[in-house]
Amino acid sequence: MAEVAQVVNLKSLPEFKNEPWQDFSKAEVRRAMADALAKVRGEFGREYSLLVAGEWTKSGRTFESRNPSNPSQVIGVLQKATPELAAKAVEDAHAYFAEWRKVPAAQRAAMLLKAGDIVRKRKFEFIAWQVFEAGKTWPEADADVCEAIDFCEYYAREALRYDAPPAVPQFPGERDELRYTPLGVGVVIPPWNFPLAIMGGTTTSALVAGNTVVLKPASDTPVNAAKFVEVLLEAGFPPRAVNFIPGSGGEIGDLLVEHPKTRFISFTGSKEVGLRIVELAAKTQPGQIWIKRVIAEMGGKDAIIVDSECDLDAAVQGVLVSAFGFQGQKCSACSRAIVDQSLYDEFLEKLKAKTEAIRVGPAEDPENYMGPVINASARKKILDYIEIGKGEGRLVTGGKAIEHETGGYFIEPTIFADVDRGARIFQEEIFGPVLAVTKARDFGHALELANDSEYGLTGSVYTKNRDKIERAKDEFHVGNLYFNRKSTGAMVASHPFGGFNMSGTDSKAGGPDYLLQFLQAKSIGEVIA
């Protein structure tokens, strides 16, 4: 194990605070960002190995990660895990768990705090990797990196808290206690859209709780994950505690989920893959002696309600950034605006004007508000939905791909009005810059429309009416509900994140219940002699 002799305790740590965002309007911040982009560009094309059973390994099969703003640029070349290596990773993680679980929580937490500190010190560089690999604009990438640091800080504190649970009432004549103990091997399967925050948060929460991890990063953003694994090792996490096995989810996903030594799966991604994992994990395999836990955070079809009694300009702005920030590729993105009939036309007029002022282009250029979508097949899927939308609603603006000299996957921010609740673009997750706008008769109707979804992730309401706020708190069925603000941008600790219904298991990442999912409680009673 690398030297991290230090331990921390909860009382000596400052209270958790969210990592502050950069102010890119400042010349020195822009200069630092430009330097980081240049540095990272100099590392394009580097090869990254697999980390299996504590050894950097090559499989002999590689794949490339490319820049969605400019697909001719190879960000990195990754070794592709074979089924044999994936199985070896799970088996060694199982063997090493016996040692790792005995490392005191205070030491694991110290490692995680150190990891957060390393990312903090190299923040611009991590922002640059996301700009190039995920197509995030500077502020979007900054928010992701800050969230990743927040997860390190927050989960380190949570591991310490669970390590010292409050005393249970003592049964007469006994010494009684409740202890939290880790589970075993966690297979971590994150999406590409928060390449550091979700990948890092799902990996470190499992690790700091004392589990060993097999991380299969998303195939679109494996370099961000490789860089983070390097940070974990630098921070002192033993190489056998975290296996890094990039490769196709379709090819090795089933094996990882079905392996009898896999104890839990922490998945974030689409509903289709999430449900498949739930189903496969439910089937016990020969040699399996536990019921696998599945944490599955999945898609969304998030709505913003614009009520008759609201600040209309604020609502327009909130819908705009929620629908088109990071090209609409957030599970929390607003893809349905449900607008009271009394201000429907005015809302659309204002939103159209603001949307048409959005500049779309390569994410590295800070003048662009929107970058590319993640890859060619995502662009095709989104454009197919736009064609469907043309038959289901009135195209207000957008509706086309944007040809750019770089060949990036750019799409116009697109709005459809007069969309019926039964329409596919009202019901299905598109995961791109496409917004459906629907007219509501009144507030009750707006709530009914918002709840007309199999998903239940985020939702937001713009209203000044206190009674309507209280009613929505009770009736709007989503895991993350906001008032008079955008539907995106959940903050670690203040907005524990996770959805209802087909949006997932409501695990509430960044909240006080989260770590419990990677722990089991042991009740101990001892008769006092």
Give me the residues that bind ligand NAP (CB under 6 A), please.
189-194, 198, 216, 218-219, 248-250, 253-254, 268-270, 273, 276-277, 297-300, 331, 429, 431, 457, 499, 503-504
Q: How far is the CB of 10 from ligand NAP (least distance, A)?
A: 27
Q: How far is the CB of 487 from ligand NAP (least distance, A)?
A: 13
Q: How far is the CB of 265 from ligand NAP (least distance, A)?
A: 8
Q: Which amino acid is at 506?
A: D
Q: How far is the CB of 399 from ligand NAP (least distance, A)?
A: 22
Q: How far is the CB of 251 from ligand NAP (least distance, A)?
A: 8
DSSP state letter for 325: G
Which of 146, 152, 310, 331 is the catalytic position?
A: 331
Measured CA to CA, the distance from residue 380 to residue 134 in angstroms comes to 17
Match 């019901």 to its residue by tokens: 427
Question: 149 vs 378, which CB is nearer to ligand NAP?
Answer: 378
Residues 6 or more apart whose CB falls under 8 angstroms from that of 286 comprise 260
Q: Is 297 a catalytic residue?
A: yes
Question: 40 vs 457, which CB is nearer to ligand NAP?
Answer: 457
Quick one: tokens of 182? 């880790």
Q: Helix, strand or coil for residue 288?
A: coil
The neighbour count for residue 17, using CB atoms within 10 Å, is 10
Measured CA to CA, the distance from residue 120 to residue 122 in angstroms comes to 5
The neighbour count for residue 243, using CB atoms within 10 Å, is 30
Q: What is the largest CA-CA distance in the chain?
A: 81
Which of 297, 364, 412, 429 is the catalytic position?
A: 297
- Strand segments, DSSP code E, in 138-284 are 174-182, 185-189, 212-215, 242-244, 262-268
Question: 201 vs 236, which CB is nearer to ligand NAP?
Answer: 201
Question: 257 vs 343, which CB is nearer to ligand NAP?
Answer: 257
Q: Is 331 a catalytic residue?
A: yes
To the nearest 5 percent, what fractions of the chain are helix, strand and coil? 40, 20, 35
Measured CA to CA, the distance from residue 514 to residue 159 in angstroms comes to 10
Question: 241 vs 294, which CB is nearer to ligand NAP?
Answer: 294
Q: Which residues are catalytic?
A: 297, 331
